[in-house]
């Protein structure tokens, strides 16, 4: 016996969307391959870039996960006012524009930052944030919260009854760790480690802002430099192929592990832990939580502080760039939803595994590689500066797609489980099903997905850096130009504008999905 499934035109639409994505990813790859020069062009600097990419990703993943385990344990076994807010704050780096975080980190740890000022007061030499440790630091800033949330999910998935049983048997913290916690960590830590590692492999903006030079250049950054400085398309294409192989291999490994879902709900649960009441443990957890909070909140607070002062004197070009970025973000959001809905429909109605595959494909595929391919494709036809914003919106949409799918697909599956037979019986097919059943009942996840897509696009600095003409481009690119020109006051102001715009876009869409939503 099988369930009847009549695809209401969704299969056709999904096929079109899948084709678009394949063309975008594989077509770009094909264009790249067609232009790649032979291995003869591979230089010592390129080898150094490859080694640096792997090394910084490894260090970033090690530090992020090593610090995330004790922080997640502290959050799992303590209750305190503001715990919920802190966990929400740990979700924020996801929609935080990379350059905004970099500016915040510079304000704390940069040449004239808080830490160096304190060091100078104490008569010690100032430390530099640029280079390997700066890149790793910024990656840990972004990924420590992500890893913490992933591992915290594992902790909260241990049934409360197990801890009750442990208490009844008189387990101490060591026994709980051995019997309950370490088996859970063996399941969750490799997945969290790989997610961070893969994300750091394709990191571009951090390396652009804090790396550079022969000793701190990632493959992604080398692609951009081959492009921008040497205009050596053959070299850029060769590097792009290496990047694809790198991220593809990591993604294959990641597929074999069960990837934890980082956007899942249910963080508000705490379990009474009789094994962790010793004053020493309480103090340890308190210190860990305080340090993690400080590490996350201080750079953000500095942006607000420094940025406000500079707002009034911001150059007009920043405001035009803001408008351009808003337009790109809105177009990209619309594209994301238009791509995600048919794929989610296909995944639900046909029970296809396409969602996970697309998710991994897009995490591994780097915007710079897709950008290189599109550039090779479009360059003979049209001035790249003219299509910079359109290409950016499209590539951003493809990047946001896996996250949108992760929000939409389970919700759509629930809708079909609850109302599918009723809708089938009434003949609700095609546009009527979309308009009368799916869209109204998907409001919340649609709002959330739109918010994510808009914020990600608003803050993205990637392919636009390759395409934009010197006077054009988005707000993140304008911000980068201010930083490169060492106009740090203006940069702080622009960072505040970018931060506010990203958070506002997310909030408006997410809120819009919740307002007036029927039970």
486 scored as a contact of other proteins (CB under 8 A): no
> Measured between alpha carbons, how far is 482 from 106 in angstroms, rounded to an integer?
14
What DSSP character marks residue 110?
S
Q: Does 519 bind other proteins (CB under 8 A)?
A: yes
Residue closer to other proteins (CB basis): 8 or 373: 8
Least distance (Å) from other proteins to the CB of residue 425? 5
Least Å from the CB of residue 444 to other proteins: 12
Binding track, positions 421-440, relative to other proteins; x by CB under 8 A: xx-xxxxxx-xx--xxx--x
> Is position 47 an interface residue for other proteins (rule: CB under 8 A)?
no
Span near other proteins by CB under 8 A; candidates 170-178, 309-317, 420-428, 450-458: 420-428
Residue of 1, 44, 122, 381 that binds other proteins (CB under 8 A):
1
Nearest approach, Cβ of residue 429 and other proteins (Å): 7
Give the binding range for other proteins (CB under 8 A) out of 1-9, 16-24, 149-157, 349-357. Answer: 1-9
CB < 8 Å & 24+ apart, contacts of 513-519: 513/443, 513/444, 513/445, 513/446, 513/447, 513/448, 513/450, 513/451, 514/443, 514/444, 514/447, 517/443, 517/444, 518/440
Q: Which of 301, 350, 419, 512 binds other proteins (CB under 8 A)?
A: 419
Near other proteins by CB under 8 A: residue from 295, 441, 493, 503? 441
Does 446 sit near other proteins (CB under 8 A)? no
Distance in Å, CB of 441 to other proteins, minimum: 6
Angle at 324 between CA 321 and CA 325, to 5 degrees: 85
How far is residue 168's CA from residue 221's CA, in Å, rounded to a whole number? 56
Q: Which is nearer to other proteins, 2 or 256 (CB)?
A: 2
Pick between residue 412 and residue 464 the one whose CB is nearest to other proteins.
412
Instruction: State the nearest-atom distance from the C-beta of 448 to other proteins, in Å.
Output: 18
- Whose Cβ is closer to other proteins: residue 183's or residue 430's? 430
Instruction: Please choose, out of 59-67, 216-224, 377-385, 418-426, the segment that lies near other proteins by the rule CB under 8 A.
Output: 418-426
C-alpha to C-alpha distances, 158 to 154, 179, 183, 185, nearest whole angstrom: 7, 11, 10, 11
Per the structure block, which two tokens stand in for 89? 């704050």
Binding status of residue 196 toward other proteins by CB under 8 A: no
Give the H/E segment covering residue 383.
none
In whole angstroms, give the CA distance from residue 207 to residue 225.
12
Question: At its nearest, how many Å lie between other proteins and the CB of residue 348?
Answer: 16
Rounded to a whole number of angstroms, the minimum distance from the CB of residue 440 to other proteins is 4
126 with 112: CB under 8 angstroms? no
Distance CA 196, CA 194 (A): 5
Between 8 and 493, CB nearer to other proteins: 8
Pick 77 or 441: Cβ nearer other proteins:
441
| 123-159 CB burial, b ≥16 within 10 A, e <16 | eeeeeebbeebbbbbbbbbbbbbbbbbbbbbbbbebe
177: helix, coil or strand?
Answer: helix
Shortest gap between Cβ of 145 and other proteins (angstroms)? 35
Structure-block tokens of residue 489: 């006051």
Closest to 461 measured CA to CA, from 99, 214, 61, 213: 99
Contacts with other proteins by CB under 8 A: the residue count is 24
State the nearest-atom distance from the C-beta of 422 to other proteins, in Å. 6
- Supply the minimum distance, in Å, between the C-beta of residue 370 and other proteins: 38
- H or E segment and range at residue 123: none
- Any idea of the CA torsion for 182, 188, 193, 196, to the nearest 10 degrees? -140
- Residue 364 and residue 251 in contact, taking contact as beta carbons nearer than 8 Å: yes
Residues with Cβ < 8 Å from 213, sequence gap 6 or more?
131
Binding mask 2-41 for other proteins (x = CB under 8 A): xxx-x-----------------------------------
Stretch that binds other proteins, among 25-33, 77-85, 176-184, 415-423 (CB under 8 A): 415-423
Binding site for other proteins (CB under 8 A): 1-4, 6, 418-419, 421-422, 424-429, 431-432, 435-437, 440-441, 518-519
């Amino acid at each position: 016996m099988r369930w009847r499934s009549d695809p209401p035109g969704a299969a056709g639409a999904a096929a079109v969307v899948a084709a678009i994505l394949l063309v975008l990813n594989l077509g770009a790859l094909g264009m790249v391959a067609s232009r790649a020069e032979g291995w003869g062009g591979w230089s010592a600097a390129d080898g150094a870039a490859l080694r640096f990419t792997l090394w910084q990703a490894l260090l970033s993943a090690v530090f992020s996960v090593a610090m995330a385990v004790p922080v997640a344990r502290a959050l799992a076994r303590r209750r305190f006012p503001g715990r919920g807010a802190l966990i929400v704050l740990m979700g924020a780096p996801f929609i935080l524009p990379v350059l905004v975080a970099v500016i915040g980190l510079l304000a704390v740890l940069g040449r004239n930052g808080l830490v160096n000022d304190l060091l100078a007061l104490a008569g010690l030499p100032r430390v530099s944030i640029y280079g390997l440790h700066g890149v790793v630091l910024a990656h840990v800033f972004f990924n420590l919260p992500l890893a913490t949330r992933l591992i915290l999910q594992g902790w909260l998935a241990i049934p409360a009854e197990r801890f009750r049983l442990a208490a009844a048997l008189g387990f101490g913290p060591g026994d709980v760790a051995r019997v309950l916690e370490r088996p859970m960590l063996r399941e969750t830590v490799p997945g969290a480690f790989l997610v961070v590692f893969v994300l750091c492999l394709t990191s571009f903006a951090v390396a652009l802002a804090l790396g550079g030079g022969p000793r701190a250049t990632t493959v992604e950054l080398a692609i951009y430099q081959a492009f921008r400085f040497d205009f050596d398309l053959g070299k850029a294409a060769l590097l792009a192929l290496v990047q694809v192989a790198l991220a593809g291999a990591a993604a294959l490994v990641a597929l074999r592990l069960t990837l934890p879902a980082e956007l899942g709900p249910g963080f508000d649960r705490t379990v009474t832990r009789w094994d962790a009441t010793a004053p020493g443990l309480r103090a340890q957890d308190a210190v860990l939580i305080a340090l993690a909070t400080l590490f996350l909140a201080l750079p953000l607070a500095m942006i607000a502080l420094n940025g406000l002062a500079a707002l009034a004197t911001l150059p007009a070009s920043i405001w035009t760039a803001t408008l351009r970025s808003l337009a790109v973000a809105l177009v990209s959001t619309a594209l994301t939803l238009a791509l995600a809905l048919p794929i989610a429909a296909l995944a639900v109605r046909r029970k296809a595994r396409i969602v996970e595959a697309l998710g991994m494909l897009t995490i591994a595929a780097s915007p710079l590689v897709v950008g290189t391919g599109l550039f090779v494709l479009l360059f003979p036809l049209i001035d790249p500066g003219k299509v910079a914003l359109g290409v950016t919106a499209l590539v951003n949409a493809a990047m946001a797609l896996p996250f949108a799918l992760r929000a939409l697909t389970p919700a759509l599956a629930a809708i079909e489980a609850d109302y599918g037979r009723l809708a089938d019986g009434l003949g609700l097919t095609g546009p009527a099903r979309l308009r009368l059943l799916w869209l109204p009942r998907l409001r919340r996840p649609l709002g959330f997905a739109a918010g994510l897509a808009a914020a990600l696009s608003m803050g993205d600095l990637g392919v636009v850096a390759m395409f934009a003409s010197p006077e054009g481009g988005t707000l993140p690119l304008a911000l980068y130009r201010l930083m490169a020109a060492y106009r740090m006051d203006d940069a702080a102001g622009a960072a505040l504008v970018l931060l506010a715009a990203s958070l506002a876009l997310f909030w408006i869409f997410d809120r819009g999905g919740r307002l007036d939503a029927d039970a």
